[in-house]
């Protein structure tokens, strides 16, 4: 549990620091006065002023912020955020999102260089060396031989035995060929379940397709040459971003039309739980988990919702389109404050549900 808590704080800290660092660097490059760079939300634990900027570490590690002069209040200072041209404000506002995507790309690049299972791509589509493969049972058909033999989803199929014949399953084709060659016969399937090998006797059906009655996924670890890894990681980052975007679109459609939060959405508690699972699964899985979280954080922040980066970008684009600010700064700040309150309420609702799930288990 202690390790999970530390990992949870470190993971969130990395994501927040990278995101806010994007805003911070962009603001400094634009000569905008940054009053505070904070990790976490108050109450404050530690603070030190260097130059004109206060650097703070706060108690609640669920976010952070870069406070710029003129961001939340009117200012006549030429270095205030509100007095910058729309182009500069746009770059500062989107810089955090860009940095999170860059972080995901860098992590996946490292992963492919060391050896990693692709998250969304197939191993055969990756131009590298396949180091290992696992044949995972993804689903089991009702009333199938696999169900009768008490095989379970997430079992890793290791080998098949028929008399003196022993076939190791190094690919999905090996499993498919073994079961097809022994239709209407009794065989043994050896699987790994929770790090234990289990031998199951299975009477295969005579069906030409899926005589075992399972759907399988081949999970392979692929190592990519260093000079190809950045491109492969960029392609993987794009595909993950695209799929995540489609999921978020469906989530918000369901939320706005039905007022329901998808069961697949989790809050801080769910992130904590999955961080613990990722830590147990190993460094590479944890790396993939951080990359996924970073992409999710980027896409959530780019949504055109008040208080998020996307909400600020929307007002900037409208200003650029109409040649003037169509909403007064005071009103815009009220809108962002209201949006922030709604986000907090949504997080509380999701967190309550996540805790209820844990208690139910």
- Locate 270 and state its tokens: 């769910």
Active site residue 20: yes
With contact defined as beta carbons under 8 Å apart, do 339 and 307 qualify? yes
Catalytic residue among 20, 71, 218, 332: 20
CA-CA-CA-CA torsion sign (68, 72, 76, 82): positive
Cα–Cα distance between 281 and 15 in angstroms, integer?
A: 20
Residue 164: CB atoms within 10 A of its CB come to: 5
Q: 48 by DSSP, 3-state: which?
A: strand
With contact defined as beta carbons under 8 Å apart, do 58 and 277 qualify? no
Counting other chains too, the contacts that 141-145 makes at CB distance below 8 Å and 24 or more residues apart are: 141/210, 141/213, 141/214, 141/215, 144/205, 144/210, 144/212, 144/213, 144/214, 145/202, 145/203, 145/204, 145/205, 145/211, 145/212, 145/213
* Residues taking part in catalysis: 20
């Amino acid at each position: 549990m202690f390790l999970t808590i530390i990992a949870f704080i470190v993971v969130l800290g990395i994501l927040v620091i990278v995101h806010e660092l994007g805003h911070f660097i962009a603001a400094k490059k634009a000569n905008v006065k940054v009053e505070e760079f904070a990790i976490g939300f108050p109450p404050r634990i530690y603070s030190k002023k260097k130059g004109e900027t206060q650097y703070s570490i706060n108690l609640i590690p669920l976010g952070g912020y870069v406070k710029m002069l003129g961001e939340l209040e009117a200012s006549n200072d030429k270095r205030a955020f509100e007095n910058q041209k729309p182009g500069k404000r746009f770059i500062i506002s989107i810089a955090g999102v860009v940095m999170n995507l860059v972080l995901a790309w860098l992590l996946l690049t490292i992963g492919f260089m060391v050896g990693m299972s692709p998250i969304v791509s197939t191993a055969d589509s990756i131009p590298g060396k396949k180091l290992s493969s696992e044949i995972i049972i993804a689903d089991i058909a009702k009333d199938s031989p696999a169900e009768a033999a008490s095989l379970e989803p997430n079992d890793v199929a290791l080998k098949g035995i028929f008399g003196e014949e022993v076939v190791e399953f190094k690919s999905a084709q090996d499993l498919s060929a073994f079961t097809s060659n022994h239709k209407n016969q009794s065989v043994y399937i050896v699987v790994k379940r929770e790090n234990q090998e289990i031998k199951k006797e299975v009477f295969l059906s005579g069906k030409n397709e899926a005589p075992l009655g399972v759907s399988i996924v081949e999970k392979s670890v692929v190592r990519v040459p260093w000079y190809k890894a950045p491109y492969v990681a960029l392609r993987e980052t794009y595909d993950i971003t695209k799929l995540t975007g489609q999921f978020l679109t469906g989530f918000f459609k369901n939320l706005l039309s039905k007022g329901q939060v998808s069961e697949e959405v989790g809050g801080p508690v769910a992130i904590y739980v999955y961080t613990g699972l990722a830590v147990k699964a190993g460094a590479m899985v944890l790396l993939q988990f951080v990359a996924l979280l970073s992409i999710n954080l980027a896409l959530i922040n780019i949504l055109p919702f008040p208080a998020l980066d996307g909400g600020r970008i929307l007002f900037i684009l409208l200003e650029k389109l109409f040649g003037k600010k169509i909403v007064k700064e005071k009103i815009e700040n009220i809108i962002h404050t209201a949006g922030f309150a709604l986000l907090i309420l949504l997080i509380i609702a999701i967190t309550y549900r996540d805790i209820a799930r844990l208690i139910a288990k």
